[in-house]
């Protein structure tokens, strides 16, 4: 069934809930779970102005480390990928280029108007991914 799962991580509570689902699926299927953390260009630029390089690296690691810790505790094979790009597009590109069986992302729970103006990473992933996508609230 699922052998390779891609898990989008952004440091949010929804991403940790998505991690829990990824762990459950991996235990059932024996899948590996790769984490992807995509730092938006605008956010990266803002952080670089306000923070030293060592602090910046630590801040970014804090976004995905709780998920890594959960996967490690549950003995789930995993790898971490960090990119600087548009989050939705980078997740889709990485998933499609690397033949993942499933993508799991958290949803911020935007209403229709917020999503229309702000966009939604999960919505972009659902639209453009070649494989199934599980969105966790």
116: domain CATH number?
3.40.50.620
Residue 117 has pLDDT above 70, yes or no: no
How close are the terminal C-alpha atoms of the chain, in Å?
Answer: 23
The predicted model gives 99-114 an average pLDDT of 76
Predicted local confidence at residue 41, as pLDDT: 65
DSSP string, 61-92: HHHHHHHHHHHHHTT--EEEEEEES-HHHHHH
Q: Which domain holds residue 75?
A: 4-136
Predicted local confidence at residue 7, as pLDDT: 98
Task: Name which residue leads in pLDDT, 134 or 52.
Answer: 134
Residues in the chain: 137
DSSP secondary structure code for residue 99 in this structure: T
Tell me: the pLDDT tens digits for 45-90?
A: 555 556 666 776 787 888 899 999 999 999 999 999 999 899 999 9
Tell me: the pLDDT tens digits for 10-33?
A: 988 999 999 999 999 999 999 999
The total of structural domains in the chain comes to 1
Q: Please, what is the average pLDDT of the chain?
A: 86
Residue 120: band (very low, low, confident or very high) from pLDDT cuts 50, 70, 90: confident
């Amino acid at each position: 069934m699922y052998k390779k799962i891609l898990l989008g991580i952004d440091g949010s509570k929804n991403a940790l809930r998505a991690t829990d689902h990824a762990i459950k699926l991996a235990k059932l299927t024996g899948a590996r779970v790769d984490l992807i953390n995509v730092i938006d260009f605008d956010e990266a630029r803002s952080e670089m102005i306000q923070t030293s390089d060592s602090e910046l690296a630590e801040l970014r690691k804090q976004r995905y480390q709780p998920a890594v810790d959960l996967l490690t505790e549950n003995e789930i094979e995993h790898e971490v990928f960090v990119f600087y790009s548009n989050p939705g597009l980078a997740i889709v590109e990485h998933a499609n280029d690397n033949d993942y069986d499933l993508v799991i992302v958290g949803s911020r729970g935007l209403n229709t108007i917020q999503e229309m103006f702000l966009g939604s990473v999960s919505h972009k992933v659902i639209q453009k991914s070649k494989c199934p996508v599980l969105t966790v609230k």
